[in-house]
Structure 1
Amino acid sequence: MNTETANKTVLITGTSSGIGLATAVAAARGGWHVIATMRDTAKAGALRAAAEEAGVTVDIRTLDVTDPASVQACLAGLDRLDALVNNAGAGHVGTLEQESVEDVRAVMEVNFFGVLHVTKAALPLLRASGGRVVTVTSVGGVVGQPFNEAYCAAKFAVEGYMESLAPVAATVGVNVSVVEPGAVASEFVSNVGEIEKVVAQAGPYAPALTAYLARTRGAFAAAQTPQDVAERMVEHLDAERPAFRLLTSPTAQAFVAPKLNDLDGAAVQALTGAWLA
């Protein structure tokens, strides 16, 4: 347990499975008081079991990131908040001609506007504590990927918003950062039913989609585990001055390297932060 985190509170969204679940347990093991949120607490069984196995306690609460009233209700009961981890999100596979603009809008609601709803509600508490906002994005927030147009657009939007917010939040004592995992075990497999449906409806795009899926299955065969990502996340939470960008694996770093030379975001933050000095 990190004694410096004792009595510090972190709220994590999307903790029913995957990275969110693993991070909630790892943070609790590291000494944080964890408020683990999810849209439907009836799905909290896996988190409760993992916490019990680890010998830790987490405070499980309802929070739907797409519902401002739900966000306000969850945050309203907090006297203190030292960190927010925006993890809730949803994957999506498709391409523009084969889906509606409403489909794209729905992806943006969860992956972009959901982050804004929760962050906006948390900022007054984080200003009071000198806390931090950590948002899980993706390497898909740096490199646009075929058949992931809507998902990558949302993650690009989150990256741009947080990169722009970071120097502003720093002037009131709040650290803002993003975490970019690459392929994480179980995420791709959990969407197989949806993907099979997309392939069946792909029409002239079916050959390209089939090739893309074959490549992606290979990438997920060597995916990083949620537990490994969670360990990196907690190290980032515990850091005295976390960098703006955390790439969670060498694979993630190699994936974005052709586009990003400023791997930890320090150069951009130094540039834009100087504008406010």
Structure 2
Amino acid sequence: MDTDAAPIVLITGTSSGIGLATVVAAARAGCGVVATMRDTGRAEALRRAAAEAGVAGRIEVEQLDVTDPASVTACLATVLARHGRLDAVVNNAGAGHVGTIEQDGTAPVRAAMEVNFFGVVEVTRAALPHLRASGGRVVTVTSVGGVVGQPFNEAYCAAKFAVEGFMESLAPVAATVGVHVTVVEPGAVASEFIGNQAIDLPALTAAAGPYAPALRAYVDRTLKAFGQAQTPEQAAAPIVAALTAERPPLRVQTSEAARAFAGTKLADLDGSAVRRMTGGWVV
């Protein structure tokens, strides 16, 4: 990777969607990017996009499974051996789950927490000594689902709420040692995220039992929302801004729609506005 003195940024979950777009955008902004993914066999789309953008020389692909501490340690050791420093981490790897607790049990909740929360915690913990040394930053892609709980997303939203609380609590502590912390909250993004959940809608509806009418209403509403979604490239722009800004904010949304959605919750002290809004999604 021909980075010279470029800042070294490690990004998780880069095989598609926001992660892939962020890799390309960060490289265009002058960063040397370590693009990580659980299965490097899925790197072809990223390599092709980097070549088309003329930034392939600023990107290297490494294997990293955020749920495996040994994998995290090995990846960071490789980055430090190769570059001698780490300037930023973008926690982007994540997984969704659609369903409800009575029908699904607790296993999906545990699985969502492992990827979306504990994976973020593990990567951040391992990176912090190196970010202290560089005066670097942690940028974590959460979701508006980390601010507003959404029907049939109990597992996903629980994990993203946990990430928001973790990062908001970490931010002032990390600042005392020169590390900036930012959470980035996308709304609907036209990416492979829904497809990557391997949702079989007929089977999901059939398994929903008494919740089937509400689930069908939710799915209809959500498909319409994703029909008007922003692109991964649009969602990546605020992430790269958080990487390059002199004083990045603690929290940023990626679109006007996301700002309005999150703003409903942040101004809703008794919860009634959110309850009215999300209640309309399931009838």
| 1:237 equivalenced with 2:243 (yes/no) | yes
Gap change, CA 1:261 and 1:83, over 3 Å in 2: farther
Preserved contact between residue 95 and residue 197 of structure 2 (Cα < 8 Å) = no
1:212 aligns with 2:213: no
Q: Pairwise mapping of residues 15-54 of structure 1 onto structure 2 (< 5 A)?
A: 15-54=14-53
Shift of 1:196: 3.8
* Residue 76 of structure 1: aligned partner: 77
> What's the offset of the Cα at 1:189?
4.5
Shift, 1:38, TM fit: 0.1
Unaligned runs of 5+ in 2: 269-283
Matches within 5 A, 1:56-67: 56-57=55-56, 58-67=59-68
Amino acid in the other structure paired with 2:87: D
Partner of 1:251: 257
Instruction: State how many pairs are aligned.
Output: 259
Structure 2 CA distance, aligned partners of 1:188 and 1:247? Answer: 20
- 1:130 match: 135
Aligned to 2:99, the other structure's residue is in SS state: coil
CA contact (8 A) 2:9 2:88 kept: yes
| 2:97–2:108 CA contact under 8 A, matched in 1 | no
Say if 1:185 and 1:248 are closer, same or farther in 2 by CA, change over 3 A: same
**Which one-letter code corresponds to 1:130 in the other structure?**
G
Alpha-carbon distance between aligned partners in 2 of 1:194 and 1:122, rounded to the nearest angstrom: 37
Per-residue deviation, 1:237? 1.0
Q: Once the 2 structures are TM-superposed, how far is the Cα of residue 195 of structure 1 from its aligned partner?
A: 3.8
- Matched with 1:107 is 112
1:5-48 deviations in whole A, cap 9, x for unaligned? 95210000000000000000110111100000000000001000
Residue 199 of structure 2 aligns to a residue in which SS?
A: helix
For the aligned residues, what is the CA RMSD? Answer: 1.6
- Contact 1:64–1:71, Cα closer than 8 Å, also in 2: yes
Q: 234-243 or 192-201, which moves further after superposition?
A: 192-201
Structure 2 distance, partners of 1:194, 1:247, is 30
Q: CA deviation at 1:197?
A: 2.9
Aligned counterpart, 2:185 = 180
Q: Which residue does 1:168 correspond to in 2? A: 173
Query: Residues 18 and 233 of structure 2 are in contact (CA less than 8 Å); yes or no, is this contact kept in structure 1?
Result: yes
- The 3-state SS of whatever aligns with 2:163 is helix
Task: Give me the whole-angstrom Cα distance separating, in 1, the residues matched to 2:201 and 2:167.
Answer: 30
Query: How far off is 1:191 after superposition?
Result: 3.7
Query: Which one of the candidate residues 224, 229, 232 is aligned to 1:223?
Result: 229
Give the secondary-structure state (helix, strand or coil) at the position aligned to 2:182: strand
Kindly indicate whether residue 95 of structure 2 is the aligned counterpart of residue 96 of structure 1: no
- How far apart, in 1, do the equivalents of 2:77 and 2:154 lie? 35
Once superposed, which parts of structure 1, at least 4 consecutive aligned residues long, lie more than 6 Å away?
none
1:272: which partner in 2?
Answer: none
Measure the CA separation in 2 of the matches of 1:250 and 1:10: 27
* Alpha-carbon distance in structure 1 between the residues aligned to 2:67 and 2:200: 21
* Equivalent residue in structure 2 for 1:155, among 151, 160, 176: 160
* Kept in 1: contact 2:182–2:242 (CA 8 A): no
Partners of 2:138 and 2:182 within 8 A in 1: yes
